[in-house]
Amino acid sequence: MTDREPLLDPVLDPAAMRKQYRAEGLTEQDLATHPMDQFARWFEDAARAALHGTLYEPNAMVVSTADAEGRPSSRTVLMKRFDTEGFVFYTNYDSRKGRDLTANPRVSLLFPWHPLARQVIVAGPVRRTGREETTAYFRSRPHGSQLGAWASAQSSVIASRAELDAAYAELAARYPEGEQVPVPPHWGGFRITPETVEFWQGRENRLHDRLRYTARPDGTWGVDRLSP
């Protein structure tokens, strides 16, 4: 007799799970001069894959933050804008990530486009979007999502689902469909300004391509190849 755990079903054993990537590679010559232009190319590929049902929510990204004591946390949010200045998402400023970013305004983003054997990893400082930009986006949300921003005290402990549903029902009665919902003062956007952007392309035998842009003080970008 031994103390070894019983063998797992191979279907359920993480150590037995294998995926051999055979995608085309990524070379330095393939890259755009600016990382946000390269991101736009890959995002278009991801969005087209989503249209064909092979990828779910191409704008989903993992946001990793750390609090004032350096304790990390991660969650998936939806990126709602990108341009030459970076990436924007919206949240409750009193949520855990909101509090983290107030205390420690730096973030890591990960776009996990697994069906394409691609990842994009971004790191940089964040700042809040202006209220005008926040209001414009809030007005574009479905009515129910606007009410949800008021009903949820994000990341706080609640007694039950019924409590949340009751809060939403009260707001729905106060602001019926067609009536303008005010923008919550505790809700808004964060804009991430990239300092590094890594494009990861899965390759055969785990010899992946990893090309990382790094911002230079003069506003240009350097590119390094990282070992997989």
Q: What is the pLDDT of residues 8-61, one digit of tens each?
A: 677 787 877 777 777 789 999 999 999 999 999 999 999 999 999 999 999 999
Cβ 122 vs Cβ 196: under 8 Å: yes
Question: What's the chain's average pLDDT?
Answer: 93
Print burial letters for 128-160: b (CB count within 10 Å at least 16), e (below 16).
Answer: bbeeebbeebbeeeeeeebbbbbbbebeeeeee
Q: Is the dihedral of CA 158, 94, 36, 202 positive or negative?
A: negative
Say which residue, 8 or 213, is predicted with more confidence: 213
According to the model, what pLDDT value does residue 98 have? 96
| Rounded CA separation 209/215 (Å) | 20
- In tens, the pLDDT along 57-75 reads 999 999 999 999 999 999 9
Q: Active-site residue 203, yes or no?
A: no
Place of tokens 């983290």: 100
Q: Which of 18, 22, 161, 206 is catalytic?
A: 206
- What are 181's two structure tokens? 């919902």
